[in-house]
A and B are shown apart, each in its own frame.
Chain A
Amino acid sequence: MAKKTYDLLFKLLLIGDSGVGKTCVLFRFSDDAFNTTFISTIGIDFKIKTVELQGKKIKLQIWDTAGQERFHTITTSYYRGAMGIMLVYDITNAKSFENISKWLRNIDEHANEDVERMLLGNKCDMEDKRVVLKAKGEQIAREHGIRFFETSAKANVNIEKAFLTLAEDILRKTPVKEPNSENVDISSGGGVTGWKSKCC
């Protein structure tokens, strides 16, 4: 009976230092737009974007966190529900790269154990101001066994690719909850346990 506009709901989370471009990355993905004005995110915000992967409509609910330390206690309470986390740094800001280990520790402490992680080196259009080599990003991603992209929200580089790849990685891990029908296209229903239950 239920008519649904999507098959699966994935919750994603963006984290990283203040000013690295998390909101811009999300804005590029959700609205295909870019704004140069820097407005610090207050606490937590979200956007919705529905994508189609392997014949399934996947609704991405993407949570955008404030990078500022003063919002830390608010933002970390949103880690738990995330199925995928994008950790963003700024290739023109060495400090934001150094803090990656801090953010990874936050994930370990607050997120689900099986959360899918991804590292993004944003602002790759600003080659003249680069201080973090691409190889450094690749290295730290390899060390932690996570995917890595250099992105530019401004020049629209790798933004969609990053989100779709993360969604694909989550989809791959998502158990098919359809009795007696393996590898059969699930036109509706199914989905990740819990998300669509009536309780909340």
Chain B
Amino acid sequence: MEDLDSSPELALEKDPFQLTVEDVYDISYVIGKDLLKIGGEPKGQSGRISDLQFKIVRVLELLEALVSQCNLNMEELKLERDNLKKEFERVLNEGARGDADQVNLGPDKQVIDLTDPDRPRFTLQELREVLQERNQLKAQLLVAQEELQCYKSGIIHPTEEQFVTIENDATASSTKRTAGNNEDYTVIKRLFSFRQGKHIGYCGF
């Protein structure tokens, strides 16, 4: 720590809280030099001067201990401050990033991105109903196709009167609607057959 042209005297002008152990050594050097000068002057006083010298040395030793302890503390505090700063920034970043995620995330929870056009939107019950309706319509289509086949292949002659309910065995949940449709169908068929002067039946399954 030898500054280029720093003379040891400068240490005496320093702010006491900026003082380092080196400065204390500079001060002790300066004082020691002055004491030597005094010691070389009139005789008879050297005993008292050397007493003073011991006391000054002791004060300087105390100062050295205090300054060195102070510096150590300072270093520790600086380290701690830096660590806390880093920790704070880390927590702050994490908080900002994890804000949305941490709202309600527990086990078995899912976050849905509302801007995703392919996000889940329908409930299981809704899917169940759609599937039931699809299968019901499919069953009706099959019945209609088979019925058509009956007519085409001549199994059923339009002159025979055969009223049979169309049974819907694919679904159990559509009783009312299907029954209603069957009635309408029958009425239309009857009207139609009346106009044709014939009776038309249809085969059931």
Contact = CB atoms under 8 A, between A and B. Distances in A.
Contact of A5 (B124, B172, B205): B205
A2 B164 contact: yes
Which of B138, B146, B155, B167 has the largest number of chain A CB atoms within 10 A?
A: B167
Contacts of B167: 196, 198, 200
B73 interface: no
Contacts of A42: 127, 131
Contacts of A135: none
Contact of A48 (B142, B156, B162): B142
Interface string B142-186: 100010001000011000001111011111100100000000000
B162 A44 contact: no
Given A3-B204, A200-B172, 11 more contacts: A1-B163, A3-B162, A3-B164, A3-B203, A42-B131, A44-B131, A46-B138, A74-B128, A198-B167, A200-B171, A200-B175
Contact of A1 (B146, B164, B205): B164
Nearest to B171: A200
Nearest to B179: A198
Given A4-B203, A4-B204, A43 B169 contact: no
Interface of A: 1-6, 9, 11, 42-46, 48, 59, 61, 73-74, 77, 81, 195-196, 198-200
Nearest to B145: A48
Given A43-B131, A73-B124, A74-B131, A9 B204 contact: no
Interface in B175-205: 175, 203-205
A1 to B, nearest CB: 6
16 contacts: A2-B162, A3-B150, A3-B164, A5-B146, A5-B205, A9-B169, A11-B169, A42-B127, A43-B131, A46-B135, A46-B139, A59-B205, A74-B124, A74-B127, A77-B128, A198-B167
A4 B175 contact: no
Contacts of B127: 42-43, 74
A105 to B, nearest CB: 21
B162 A1 contact: yes
B152 to A, nearest CB: 13
Contacts of B171: 200
A11 B205 CA distance: 14
Contacts, number: 59
Most chain B CB within 10 A, of A1, A6, A9, A77, is at A1
Contacts of B142: 48
A195 B131 contact: no
A81 B173 CA distance: 13
A35 B57 CA distance: 102
B176 to A, nearest CB: 10
A3 B156 contact: yes
A-B CB proximity, top 4 nearest:
A43-B131, A3-B203, A2-B164, A200-B172
Contacts of B155: 3, 5
B131 A198 contact: no
A4 B205 contact: yes
A199 B202 CA distance: 19
A118 to B, nearest CB: 22
A20 B138 CA distance: 25
Nearest to A45: B135
B155 to A, nearest CB: 7
Contact of A2 (B131, B150, B168, B204): B204
A171 B138 CA distance: 26
A131 B168 CA distance: 43
Contacts of A44: 131, 135
A74 B131 CA distance: 9
